[in-house]
Amino acid sequence: MDLRVPGTAQLGRRATVFTPKRSRGAPLPVLVLLHGLGETGNERDGAYAWAERYGLLTSYERLLHPPVDRGLRRMSFLRAPRAEAIHRQLALHPFRGMVLVCPYTPNVFRMNTAQALDDYAAWLVEVLLPEVRSRTPARDGMHGTGLDGCSLGGFISFQVFQRRPEAFFTCGGVQAAIGKGIGTQYAQRFHDIVRRLGPRRFHVETSTDDPYHDANVELARQLARRGLDHQLTVAPGPHNQPWLIEVGTLEMLLWHDRQLASAGTAQLP
């Protein structure tokens, strides 16, 4: 679904929404995905970035119908031991699936950044998600809702979560574009949110040659120090779209599927 909703040209009014064919009306978790800086130039590129450039639909299909190396000519970043571990997980707990929501993500640094983040968070939670739920079998409520983003989108994901934590059970970043010194601040804010509102789960994913590797690893370390439920994934590879297509998006989808499926219960592997 190419969805147009009320909004502003600066912050966005458009999203692509993907619903599993086999949903049969059953309530499904919903995952909001924010894209990177390269697609902020226009709404169309942004709304289609995950599907056309980041391997979202092929990764989803590989998880739904393993093996997860399906369609790959060679595996440069998804190493055989990790692929085998994913296959074992999927054999025990098949991929369940979710509604995927991919909105245009603005370059907030070209605006009054704090105000833009406030407004964008409000737009996601008060305008876009209600419209998605009215048109799809997306589950209501915080426990069925996740948020993640790539690079700039990872930074914005963390910022949106801080502003509207009541709306999301999972929050993450894939190669999130954050500064090395900011991990302590994020972790403390997330800790305060969990103390106030209850359990949440956090996803931190990076790669060995990601320029934001150290910052993301430090964030995970600070989350661990505070006892927050999180997972750090570090896969081999650079900060680019081939890495996302092969392994980055796959790992992100698998993690959210496990957390959202088990929200309020014991955590799946």
Q: According to DSSP H, which parts of the chain are helical? A: 43-52, 56-64, 80-92, 113-123, 129-135, 152-163, 183-197, 213-225, 241-243, 249-261
266 pLDDT higher than 50: no
20 pLDDT higher than 80: yes
**Residue 60's closest CA among 110, 96, 30, 104?**
96
Looking at the domain assignment, is residue 268 inside a domain? no
* pLDDT, mean over the chain: 94
Looking at the domain assignment, is residue 228 inside a domain? yes
Decide if 102 contacts 16 (C-beta within 8 A). yes
pLDDT tens for 59-93 read 999 999 999 987 777 778 999 999 999 999 999 99
The pTM for the full model equals: 0.95
Tell me what pLDDT residue 25 has: 62
Looking at the domain assignment, is residue 267 inside a domain? no
pLDDT tens for 34-63 read 999 999 999 999 999 999 999 999 999 999
Looking at the domain assignment, is residue 28 inside a domain? yes
Number of domains in the chain: 1
Looking at the domain assignment, is residue 156 inside a domain? yes
Question: What is the domain-level CATH number for residue 189?
Answer: 3.40.50.1820
Looking at the domain assignment, is residue 266 inside a domain? no
Domain that holds residue 211: 2-261
